[in-house]
Each structure stands twice: as structure tokens, then as C-alpha cells.
Amino acid sequence: MIYDCAIIGGGPAGLNAALILGRARRKVAIMDNNQPRNAVTHASHGFITRDGVTPAEFRRIALEEVKCYPLVDHLQSEVVSVDTTPFGFELVDSVGHRLQARKLILATGVKEIYPEIEGFYPLYGKSLFNCPYCDGWELQDQALVVVSEFSNLFHMAKLLLNWSKDLVVCTNGKASLTDKHKQQLQSKGIVVMEQAIAAFIGQNGRLEHVRFADGTQIPRAGGFVTPTFVQSAPFAERLGCEMLAGGGIKTDEKGRSAIPGLYIAGDTSYVAPSQVVFAAADGSQTAMSVNLDLTEEYFTSSSLPHV
């Protein structure tokens, strides 16, 4: 059997793509290793009707809805290789099962690489985060720290003033702020600290202090740390996709890559902003592109099957 479309990745983008294609009566396989990037997150926010839902509950509801469509197969497996073939794509999972599909959506997402600061990971997802739109409300009016080694630090600092006026901005020893930006921040009462950070100190997931390499220590209750992003899976690069500087994959406005039949959905493509609602919407749009392309091919070739 050849599927109309295979989807690698069972996050919001992949699941919403499967939903749209299932409703379009396409034969779909969604392959999912159940290792979501947001597993450490206590709740997902900013998605109307699902604000505050846990990632596990969101996934449970989404799978329940997707499985209502009989032409969608949800396969709990890890894809280890993808190759192009004359008919489309062949996928092989970790136990050697092979699957063939005419179209392929990569919704594998990205993973974050954070600065190597002692104490970060026990606090991550509890009092240290990376997206103020996702978690700023929960930290409102608290003593916050924002850490970035990149030029986005000035933007992040300005943005966070919407949630708290008690803000310390840290470059972690990097030249991520211009003199002009430092002056502007300080004029708004924002403290700028340019020393390298030695450790985040806290217990039970709650940040209490930030300790710097020079021995300075400041009390903080929470904050935001900017990561770099890399692809969670190597398939796009192996297939010859053009990679973007920020960690994403180049596509057209509808999710099509430069590789015929290969589509990219969710933050696999655009990386940020990393919100469930954006990823789900992108999965929906990409699935519509797949369905449109399959439809057009049906009208230009007598050899292709259609439901």
C-alpha cells in the first residue's frame, strides 16, 4: 500500500495536518515517537479553548479526534531513514518496517540548546522559560531575569516590561547589547549585568538566586533564557533542503520545500514563535497544500488513484 501522505512528528503541526488530510479523505500515516519538545512544560497557553492545557492532555485530545477518521493511521514508531523513490518516499522505522508515501510532511520540530549554566535544567519549565507569551502571565510582577547571548536581548527586555518592572538583563559575558541599548534599558530602570553567569540557584523548581562568575549574587524568582535552535531530525538536510540561518528550513508560503513532494510544517520550518497555536495552524495550511497538489496531479495523470 502507498499512502497519499506520510507525516513524521506527532506534535500540534503533525496532528493538525493529519486531521485536515483525514477530513479530505486522504490515506495518511502519522509516525510519532512520542518525545514532544514541550514535555517539561507544565501547561500550554495562548490557544483559545485550550489555554492552560497540559501537553499530555492536548496530545490525548488531538489523537482521539484524529483517530475518528478511518483513513488516518497513527503509528507509534521512530523513523530512522527517509529516501526518495520514483513514486515519492520510503520511510524506515527503528524496527525495520518500511512505509511508502506519495507525499511527505516533516513536522519533527526543533530542539533548544541552552547556555551551559549550572542549575538551569532543574528549573526549566517551572520558573525558567524561553517564551514570555507562553509563560509571562504566570511570572507577572515578580523579580525576573532575562538571559541571552544574542542580539534579541534588547527586544526581549523591552517585551518583558509588560509583565514585570523588576527586571535584570544578563548578557552572560557576551557582547549582546550595544551601548545605546544599554543606556535605553537603564533609562527605564532595568538593571544590566554583563558578567558571565555561574549558576541558577533554587529548589523544588523555583529560582531563588542568580550567581555570577565574579561572586556577585542577586535574588530572582523566575526568568527567561534564550536558546539556539537545531533540527530535531536530520531528514530535511539529508534530502537536500535549504537550511536557514536561524535553524529552520526554507519553504514557500504554503509549506512546500524545494524537494518535490516534501513539505515542512510547524517550527521545523520557521522555528519561532514556538507556540502550539502557530504550529497547529501551520500544519493545517501545509496539509491543504498537500491535498491541493494531490488533486492537481489527479487531473494531469490517469495513473494516480483517488478516493
pLDDT at residue 137 is higher than 90: yes
For residue 214, the one-letter residue type is D
- Is 115-225 in the same CATH topology as 2-112+228-300? yes
* Tens digits of residue pLDDT in 114-134: 999 999 999 999 999 999 999
The DSSP bridge partners found for residue 111 are 230
d(CA 58, CA 9): 15
pLDDT at residue 269 in the model: 78
Cβ pair 179, 157 in contact under 8 A: no
| All structural domains of the chain with their residue ranges | 2-112+228-300, 115-225
- The CATH code of the domain at 115-225 is 3.50.50.60
* Tens digits of residue pLDDT in 37-83: 656 677 889 899 999 999 999 999 999 999 999 999 999 999 999 99
Q: Helices 12-23 and 276-300, interaxial angle, to 10°?
A: 40
Q: State which CATH number among 3.40.50.1370, 3.40.720.10, 1.10.1060.10, 3.50.50.60 fits the domain covering 2-112+228-300.
A: 3.50.50.60
d(CA 164, CA 141): 4
pLDDT at residue 257 is higher than 70: yes
